[in-house]
Amino acid sequence: MGIIENSSYRAPAGFSNPHLQTILPSLFRKVKGLPLPEKRCIELPDGDFLALDIYQNQNSGNSSKKAVIISHGLEGNSSRAYVLGMAKAFLRSGWHAIAWNFRGCAGMNRLPRFYHSGDTADLACVAKYATQELGYTSLCLTGFSMGGNITLKYAGEQGDALPAEIRALCAFSVPCHLESSAMRLSEVFGGLYVKRFLRMLKAKITEKEAAMPGTFDLSKLREIRNFKSFDDAFTAPLHGFISAEDYWHKSSSLHVLGQIKRPALLVNALDDPFLTPKCYPRTQAASHSYLHLELPCRGGHAGFLSFGRPDGLYWSETRAVNFAQDHISG
């Protein structure tokens, strides 16, 4: 549908720095006013499971047939502030919300494999559960960072075959081109962000090896310094890819954006420290019948800080609700 250069987002005074935008919400934001979620586990065809947090709208009860499915980012989970904020925003607008955890992000999963940036099959299982088991007839898929890449890739892979109940998509801070984003992260702040992610990933590998001896060669952990070395040693072979480059190429949503056949909003801040020019698909969006590419000047990575609202919501959350409401009726 085109490129939205003149985004309505404006960073609060004194908070335009992209690293402040990225780090402050992650460390300090508290989302209040949410009902307790119903915890459910769904079984997967390969014998593994996914953990879901289901938020029921207290006012509409079971009458509402609309739900948002929220996909978190790398080493995130369903309790992260950006997930809770998005759930709260949709609940306030009469929707239900389903926040799901990638494999291994809500306790150890059963199989040696984990999750990865191109793994759309699990999201498909969540959407199927939402429609067939929970009875929702209108879904909006929303994702952040890796979750946004999975959301867009799923819709692009499916094209016209995407389940009819999925009416709209919203994705924020998406590394559409994984290879360049991985390289970029190794440079920013001397690789500080990468070191944080790798610390969590290494701990997960070590924990799983203790539970499933012989699954991993832990001696390789000493050589891990960046995403390429980690993905070459673990992600790629564990999930059927030849190399890190093969994994990145086959898992990048950039290559299937043209096949999306539902209204889709992609919001990538121009100052996002995780992204490169290849993560801003201007050419694809300019002639796309469904893709809206919004490019705020500020916002950092999954930031979009907002202050002073009585409901405590951030701009990205109200933006997603408004987009979904514009494209989904009933």
Residues 87 and 141 in one domain: yes
Stated pTM of the model: 0.96
Catalytic residue, candidates 272, 288, 316, 327: 272
Residues 190 and 129 in one domain: no
Find where tokens 């093969």 sit.
Answer: 246
Residues 113 and 226 in one domain: no
Nearest partner of 298 among 313, 311, 316, 312, judged by Cα: 316
The answer to whether residue 271 is catalytic is: no
Residues 281 and 209 in one domain: no
Q: State the total domains in the chain.
A: 2
Which pairing describes strands 66-71 and 96-100: parallel, antiparallel, or unpaired? parallel
Tokens found for residue 69: 């499915």
Residues 42 and 69 in one domain: yes
Residues 172 and 182 in one domain: no
* Phi, psi torsion values for 305, nearest 5 degrees: -55, 140
Specify the pLDDT at position 147: 98
Specify the pLDDT at position 330: 54
Residues 204 and 117 in one domain: no
Tokens found for residue 9: 């987002």
Residues 170 and 132 in one domain: yes
- Measured distance CA(315)–CA(313) in Å, rounded: 7
**CATH number reported for the structural domain that contains residue 14 in this entry:** 3.40.50.1820
Among 234, 251, 268, where does a domain finish?
Answer: 251
Torsion angle defined by CA atoms of residues 166, 169, 174 and 177, in that order, rounded to the nearest 10 degrees = 60
CB 55 within 8 A of CB 19: no
The answer to whether residue 145 is catalytic is: yes
Residues 190 and 311 in one domain: no
Q: What are the CA-CA distances from residue 124 to residues 25, 28, 105, 150 (Å)? A: 29, 32, 18, 10
Question: For 64-103, what is each residue's pLDDT tens digit?
Answer: 799 999 999 999 999 999 999 999 999 999 999 999 999 9
CB 286 within 8 A of CB 185: no
Catalytic residue, candidates 145, 173, 180, 251: 145
Residues 29 and 163 in one domain: yes
Specify the pLDDT at position 62: 60
Residues 216 and 275 in one domain: no
Among 251, 273, 290, where does a domain finish?
Answer: 251
Catalytic residue, candidates 301, 306, 316, 327: 301
Specify the pLDDT at position 21: 97
Question: For 167-223, what is each residue's pLDDT tens digit?
Answer: 999 999 999 999 999 999 999 887 899 999 999 999 999 999 999 999 999 999 999
Among 216, 251, 286, where does a domain finish?
Answer: 251
For 56, the domain range is 2-177+253-327
DSSP assignment letter at 292: E
Within 252-314, residue ranges assigned H as helices are: 282-286
Specify the pLDDT at position 61: 56
Residues 318 and 286 in one domain: yes
Q: Can you list the residues of the chain whose pLDDT is less than 70?
A: 1, 60-63, 330
| Number of Cα atoms under 13 Å in the Cβ half of residue 247 | 23
The answer to whether residue 255 is catalytic is: no
